[in-house]
């Protein structure tokens, strides 16, 4: 027989079973306690998000404690950024304003009321992602010279800032317009929302919104069909992570081109500006460039506008150049074919 009837051995086994049963009971109790704690924390955090960040909660629809914490951090970061904007010294952009004067929502509201109807429409559409002279001219059905005059006028009045972007086809470059600190306040005056939330709503209204996971999966399929080896952060997060001085950043895709790993982001335009800025900081430090896949041609323009906004606010003493490869998902083929945008940030001296 394999097992001998040994009373002493049997007693030892019975005692061991009792010990394991007690240990299992303790583990079950601890697991139940921890599960209840997590459930309670999720419930409380969900309530906090719905009360204090309802729009962000609605846009992101977080599931689980980890995603809720991420949304909370992004919401708090957005508040911190907006408070720093309100407290920041205003630029001497008009003879009627003194240097060093703080941005004040009531004053901005009064200044907006002084704008002509056409200027208000131009400002609204820049906030909505129509950030070039041509796009404003086409969207508002106005002459190019008139659109250019109004955009430059909004820059002089302090509602917009502008940076030059070059492409392989346009070596001289063209202007990308984006809101100044005054323009961000004007966003809440004109559109009743922070600028960081407007892009995604515009895309949804126009039926052009594509969520992040769908972008990742479709980009994965398209790049694999082009012969690239592709790993997504949904399947292997560690493969898509790189470090920089601010910590670590996890890209959406890691694509191998002749054994060289290229990180790619998929942007639905639902991420807050603070999160986008941290992402761009990581890519600027490590690569001086970024590859981004978006849901449409309009989202591509929005992404270039966000990159220009970020570049302007970095305020590097000697200026810098940043390369962005941005493509709409329906036009994505090979990485080498992604359109190139060179964003030029002049020196702040």
DSSP per-residue letters across 56-92: HHHHH---HHHHHHHHHHHHHHHHHHHHHHHHSBPP-
In this prediction, residue 328 has a pLDDT band, given cuts at 50, 70 and 90, of very high
Q: pLDDT category, 52, cuts 50, 70, 90? A: confident
Whole-number pLDDT of residue 286: 96
With cut-offs at 50, 70 and 90, classify the pLDDT of residue 5: low
- Write out pLDDT tens, residues 56-114: 776 677 777 777 787 787 778 667 655 654 444 444 444 333 333 445 678 888 888 89
Given a cut of 70, is residue 18 above it in pLDDT? yes
Residue predicted with more confidence, 91 or 216: 216
Residue of 325 and 192 predicted with greater confidence: 325
Q: 53 versus 178: which is more confidently predicted?
A: 178
Alpha helices in the chain (DSSP H): 7-52, 54-60, 64-87, 105-113, 117-127, 133-139, 144-156, 181-191, 198-205, 212-225, 273-286, 297-314
126 with 136: CB under 8 angstroms? Answer: yes
Structure confidence at residue 167 (pLDDT): 95
Coil/strand/helix, residue 339:
coil
Phi/psi at 139 (5° precision): -70, -40
CA dihedral over 33, 35, 40, 45, signed as positive or negative: positive
Residues in the chain: 349
- Give tens-digit pLDDT for 155-167: 999 999 999 999 9
Integer Cα distance of 30 and 20 in angstroms: 15
Output 17 or 222, whichever has higher pLDDT.
222
Q: How far apart are CA 151 and CA 170, in angstroms?
A: 20
More confident: 272 or 306: 306
Predicted pLDDT of residue 131? 96
Query: How close are the terminal C-alpha atoms of the chain, in Å?
Result: 91
For residues 35 and 266, the model is more confident at 266
User: Domain extents for the chain?
Assistant: 7-83, 101-192, 204-345
Q: In the predicted model, is pLDDT for residue 129 greater than 50?
A: yes
**CATH annotation of 101-192:** 1.10.10.10
**What's the confidence (pLDDT) of residue 324?**
98
pLDDT of the residue at 78 = 67
What are the tens digits of pLDDT across the range 273-300? Answer: 888 999 999 999 999 999 999 999 999 9
The CATH label, of 3.40.1350, 2.40.50, 3.10.450, 3.30.1370, for the domain at 204-345 is 3.40.1350
Q: Measuring CA to CA, which residue among 190, 194, 192, 189 is closest to residue 106? A: 189
pLDDT at 45 over 90: no
Q: What is the pLDDT of residue 77?
A: 67
In this structure, what token pair is assigned to residue 34? 């921890």
Angle, helices 64-87 vs 273-286, to 10°: value is 90
Q: Stretch 3-8: mean pLDDT, rounded?
A: 60
**C-alpha 228: how far from chain center:** 26
């Amino acid at each position: 027989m394999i097992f001998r009837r040994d009373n002493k051995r049997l007693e030892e086994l019975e005692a061991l079973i009792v010990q394991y049963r007690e240990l299992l009971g303790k583990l079950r109790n601890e697991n139940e306690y921890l599960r209840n704690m997590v459930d309670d924390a999720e419930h409380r955090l969900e309530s906090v998000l719905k009360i204090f960040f309802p729009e962000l909660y609605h846009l992101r629809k977080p599931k689980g404690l980890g995603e809720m914490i991420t949304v909370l951090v992004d919401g708090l970061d957005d508040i911190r950024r907006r408070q720093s904007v309100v407290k920041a010294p205003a630029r001497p952009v008009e003879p009627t304003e003194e240097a060093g004067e703080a941005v004040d929502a009531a004053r901005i509201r009064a200044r907006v009321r002084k704008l002509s109807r056409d200027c208000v429409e131009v400002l609204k559409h820049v906030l909505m992602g129509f950030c070039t002279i041509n796009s404003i001219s086409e969207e508002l059905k106005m002459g190019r010279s008139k659109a250019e005059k109004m955009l430059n006028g909004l820059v002089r009045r302090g509602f917009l800032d502008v940076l030059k972007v070059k492409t392989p086809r346009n070596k001289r470059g063209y202007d990308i317009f984006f809101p100044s600190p005054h323009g961000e306040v004007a966003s809440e005056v004109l559109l009743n929302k922070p600028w960081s939330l407007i892009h995604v709503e515009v895309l949804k209204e126009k039926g052009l919104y594509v969520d992040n996971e769908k972008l990742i999966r479709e980009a994965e399929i398209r790049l694999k069909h082009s012969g690239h080896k592709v790993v997504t952060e949904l399947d292997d997060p560690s493969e898509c992570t790189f470090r920089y001085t601010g910590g670590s950043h996890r890209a959406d895709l890691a694509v191998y081109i002749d054994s060289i790993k290229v990180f790619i982001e998929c942007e639905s335009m639902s991420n807050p500006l603070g999160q986008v800025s941290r992402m761009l900081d990581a890519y600027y430090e490590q690569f001086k460039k970024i590859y981004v896949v978006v849901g449409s041609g309009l989202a591509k323009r929005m992404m270039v506008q966000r990159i220009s906004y970020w570049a302007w606010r970095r305020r590097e003493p000697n200026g810098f150049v940043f390369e962005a490869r941005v493509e709409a998902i329906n036009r994505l083929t090979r990485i080498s074919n992604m359109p190139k945008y060179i964003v030029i940030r002049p020196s702040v001296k």
